Structures are given as C-alpha cells and as structure tokens.
Amino acid sequence: MAGDHLTSDPITVDQVEAIARNKLPVNVYNYYSCGSDEQTAVERNRKDYDGLLILPRVLRDVSRIDTSAQLFGHRFPFPVGIAPSAMQRLASPEGELDVARAAGSMGLNLTLSSNSTTSLEDVMVARRQVGETAAPFWFQIYLASDLNLSVPIIKRAEAAGFEALVLTVDTPVLGNRINERRTPLVLPEGIHLANLKHQDTQGPRKPSFNREIMDARSAKQASDLMQTAGDTANSASLTWSSTMKFLRQTTNMKIILKGVMAPEDAQLAVECGADAIVVSNHGGRQLDCVPSTIQALPGVTEVVKGKIPIIFDGGIRRGSDVFKALALGADFVLVGRPALWGLAFNGQEGVETVMNILERELSRTMALAGVAQLRDICTSFLRYAEGGRLSKI
C-alpha cells in the first residue's frame, strides 16, 4: 500500500515528522515540537517561507550543481548543520551518539546541547570513529549566574576538540511553555543530563530549577525559587562587554552567539568580536510575539555586511527554505526538530534520511531556479507574494 511505503520510506521531512509523532510518547513529542504561549512564533517560523516566492531563471547551465559551503575554513557538502537540541535519548536509545554518527559520516556540522543525555566526550568519540569524513563539531552552552560554574564545562569542551562554543543569548529565563507547565518533563530512570555535574541523580526525579521558575505563579514564588537555585540557574545579568571578555579569557574556541534577532544586536556582536551569530528565536520557545527568523534575517544581513558569518535557524523543512535563507544573506543554516524526527524514526539512519532529503531538495531547487553554485543565490531570485502580486525584496 502507498501509505505503508511512505511509513517505511518517507520522502519529505513532514512525512518523517508524522512517523516520529506516532512513535514518541505524547509528552516527549510535545516537548520537542511545542513553543511558548499560543505558539504563534512556531507557526510564523514555518509559514513565512510561503510568503517568499522563487523567480527562476532559464537557459542557464545547471548540469552540475555544487551545494558545498565553506565556514571557518572547512568545506561542507551542503550548507546545513544540526542545531543543538536537548535530551535526545528521549527520542532514541542511542540519542546524541546516533546524531553524531550521522553528522560525522555525512561530513556535516553538529552543535551538541549542553543539556545532552550523552557526555560531550562520548559524542566526540563517536565523531572520531567515523574517520576522515567527520566535520568540526560545536558545543552549545547557557552561562550560569555564577560564571565560574561554567568554566569547567567550557574547558572540557575545548579539551574534547570542539571547534566553537555556541552561547545561547536569548534565555535569561525560560519562555512560557504551556505544555511543559501542564505536564512537566521529567527524565525517566536511567537517563540524565550527562554534562551537568551538580545535578542530583539520586532520589525522586523532578523538573530543573529553570523549569520550576518558569511555572512560578507569582513574582514572590519566582524570587524564592531563584534564591533556592542560587548560582546554577541561567544567568539573567549577561552584558555584551563582560560576557565576551569572560569567554575570550576562558577559551580559545570560536565564539558564536545564538539567538540574535535585532539588527542592533547583530552590530554589537560584530563590534564585540563574535566569530559568528545565529539568527534564531529558539524555535519559537521563548518570546511568542517575535518575528519569524526569516522575517528578521534581512535586517541582520544589512548591518553585518559580510563581516562575520550569519548562521540561521527556524522552521526549515524543505530545501527551498534553505535556498530562501541563503538568498536573504545567511551563510549557513541549522535544523533542529527535523533531526529529532529522523532520530525518532530510525536512529542514525533516520537522521541521515532527513539530511539527504534536504540536500536533494536544495540541489533540485537550485537547478530549477537556474543557480549552479551557492554563491550565486541572492535576492534577485526572490519575490514577496503580496495581495496576488509579486514585489521585489
């Protein structure tokens, strides 16, 4: 039957997600898929690509399509890496190891979440085991209120061989994630946050302090919880100058700032010496009433002017979405949830399936648009769809 074939051999990312949704426990699927408040940011991230149309050129030689991209001196087979996503062993027993093997075997970039359920050292062992094809990996982090508490894990990441430190800058507190407040996600027995030494692995499982603070019903309750959490909660007092100074003094890894949306912040990132930025709204999981990332990207591109790489994430499900992001100025793109759906679908092979789908769709889109190389993708290929008419970007 056709439906059975698609179940075993999906050919779109949406089909992979449908399989994952059926396989995952409801609370795990909701944790991965849902955003904050009414989830309008999640919806905008997906839908706003549809307001951008590709205006193809014809009679151009597209017999050889080159999807390869260069970043930090390394050439990737195509400009899509895997974004940091927490607690991947909830999706598959091998979790982060399967994702690392998939990325390593395909020569793709992976950013490991500090809230991973596999240690950063074990992930790098899995990367090395695939041999010469492995690309550089990056490590994501939230800084604690006491910055000194973050030093050991930064040092571990550098010693393990991660190329870059990806600091998430949009999470002084967690967004209002309704589904998590209704059904708090608690890691089951046998799974823990493998990089966090201060956690209590004994006794009853309970949500983290950050999630308890998210669910506070009054300002006083939130304040009391903050006092209990002490210096281990996410820092809400980071500043441009002090944070970049701390990071430069602590590590020789490249510094990437993830969660930049405003052009003014992109300009500050350049001025403060960040090696790259990620235009991201945290998958719609923080402030719900924000623009989609594809809406925010042109403003960031305008001020950065190629001085540092612009990495982009948010709502990408098709190769044409990647094309549109590159046309608006992104140098590289990350996908988060699609990799999780692939992991839940079929472990390492499922992640590889998702990345192959996106690569093939991007290659096909380029050919049909009349573009043979990534460097030729630009805004002249895009039009806004407004009221039944097309307008230039």
Percent of the chain clearing pLDDT 90 (strictly above):
79
Binding-site residue numbers are 31, 84-86, 113, 140, 142, 168, 177, 258, 280, 282, 285, 313-317, 336-337
Full domain range(s) for residue 205:
2-392
- Tens of pLDDT, residues 71-83: 999 999 999 999 9
Q: What are phi and psi of 254, to 5 degrees?
A: -65, 150
Report the distance separating Cα 84 and Cα 104, nearest Å. 15
Q: Residue 269's domain is classified under what CATH number?
A: 3.20.20.70
Residue 125 · residue 91 · CB < 8 Å:
no
Lowest mean pLDDT across 18-27, 119-128, 218-227, 300-309: 218-227
In which region does residue 51 sit, left (phi positive, over 0), alpha (psi from -120 to 50) or beta (all else)?
alpha
Q: What is the pLDDT of residue 1?
A: 40
Q: Measured between alpha carbons, how far is residue 241 from residues 127, 186, 232, 238, 272 in Å?
A: 34, 36, 22, 9, 7
Of residues 101 and 173, more confidently modeled:
101
- Tens of pLDDT, residues 268-320: 999 999 999 999 999 999 999 999 999 999 999 999 999 999 999 999 999 99
Torsion sign over Cα 217, 42, 342, 81:
negative
Amino acid at 338: P
Q: What is the pLDDT of residue 370?
A: 98
Q: What is the pLDDT of residue 4?
A: 47
282 in catalytic set:
yes
Task: Count how many domains the chain has.
Answer: 1
> Which residue is catalytic, options 5, 74, 192, 282?
282
Q: What is the pLDDT of residue 387?
A: 74
Binding-site residue numbers for FMN are 84-86, 113, 140, 168, 258, 280, 313-317, 336-337
Report the distance separating Cα 293 and Cα 284, nearest Å. 9
Residue 103 · residue 110 · CB < 8 Å:
yes
Q: What is the pTM of this model?
A: 0.93
Q: What is the pLDDT of residue 209?
A: 59
Q: What is the pLDDT of residue 178?
A: 84
